[in-house]
Amino acid sequence: MKNNIFPNQEPEEYWKEKLSKEAYHVLREKGTERPFTGKFNLHFENGNYQCGACNVPLFKSSQKFESGCGWPSFDDAIEGSIKNVLDKSLGMLRTEIVCNNCGGHIGHLFNDGPTETGQRYCVNSLSIDFKKD
């Protein structure tokens, strides 16, 4: 993945060494994990969820909700942390969400959330980490 528009400009070799094979596949190759398998799907501690590649905070625990979709879901993101990208893969039109610092693939954004924002940031557990308050 070439990311000429993100502040954290590390070569792919750096990410291959830093990340596990599975995390690299999700964060750098836009992969996904199987639903209901991620460690943060049913995780509800107080703290911040950060990019699994560069550790920038992306979501607050207060923004997380149980969507039943099988992936961690958030109704908003920390301001300025996420970049929305048009995704035309798999014959669909979707909004991909990437880390605004390193360009790592985080998941997708849908407009079917149950809270007042109406948004559901559908996130791969392999693309995030958690820092407890």
Catalytic residues: 122
Give the residue among 72, 79, 65, 68 at the shortest CA–CA distance from 115. Answer: 65
Q: What angle do CA 69, 73, 78 make, to 5 degrees?
A: 165
Q: State both tokens at 57.
A: 């905070």
Helix (H, G, I), strand (E, B) or coil at 57: strand
